[in-house]
Amino acid sequence: MNESVLRRALLIIAVLGLALGLCVWRNGIDIASPDMIWTAATLPVVAALAISILRDFWIGRVGVDAIALVSMSAALLLGQALAAVVVAIMYAGGTVLEDLARGRAERNLRALTDRAPRVAHRKSAHGTETVAIDQVAVGDELLVRAGELLPVDGVLIDASAQLD
């Protein structure tokens, strides 16, 4: 299963567990105690987090996720299931936000690299020729047409230019 899908599922479980527990508590429904519901909603997050921490520890990485694991575990052991499910939502929500931010950064970086010029217009004795960027050498005189991105770093020869 894709880890991003798992993280979203854990967030949904925790949020639904919190909501269901609050409904049971508020309306006095006797299907289960709110603490049981909140505990059941927290345990999948605790299990996934424990596995993640062990996997990271095995490859030599130690992170701050252990704080969330200790918080949820201690809250459950002390009978504070509501606090545990709130921490579970905070942790799971944070991981989902990280996934979204990572995806957005990757898309933006891909768009930036896709936009990078791949050719330059080099002036020569015969006129202007289009060459690949890796064929541009120090000392080459390039023509940058209106609307084009600068293909390489250089020195401006003509004093009448506008660059944005």
pLDDT of residue 68: 95
Distance CA 34, CA 26 (A): 9
Q: What is the pTM of this model?
A: 0.74
Per-residue tokens: 41 = 């909603």
Q: What is the pLDDT of residue 48?
A: 96
Q: State the Cα–Cα distance between residues 107 and 119, nearest whole angstrom.
A: 23
Question: How many beta carbons lie within 10 A of that of residue 67, not counting itself?
Answer: 11
Report the Cα 7 to chain-centroid distance in Å. 12
Predicted pLDDT at 116:
85
d(CA 150, CA 138): 15
What's the confidence (pLDDT) of residue 162?
67
pLDDT of residue 139: 85
Q: What is the pLDDT of residue 159?
A: 74
Distance CA 45, CA 108 (A): 31
Rounded CA-CA distance 158/164 in Å is 16
DSSP per position, 83-121 = HHHHHHHHHHHHHHHHHHHHHHHHHHHHHHHHHS--EEE
Distance CA 42, CA 97 (A): 19
Instruction: Identify whether the C-beta of residue 11 lies closer than 8 Å to the C-beta of residue 88.
Output: no
Per-residue pLDDT of the chain (164 residues; tens, 9 = 90+): 689 999 999 999 999 999 999 999 999 888 889 999 999 999 999 999 999 999 999 998 888 899 999 999 999 999 999 999 999 999 999 999 999 999 999 999 999 888 888 888 988 888 899 899 888 888 888 888 888 888 888 887 877 776 66
- Say if residue 15 is exposed, middle or buried (CB neighbours under 10 Å; 0-12, 13-18, 19+): middle
| Domain residue spans of the chain | 3-114, 118-156
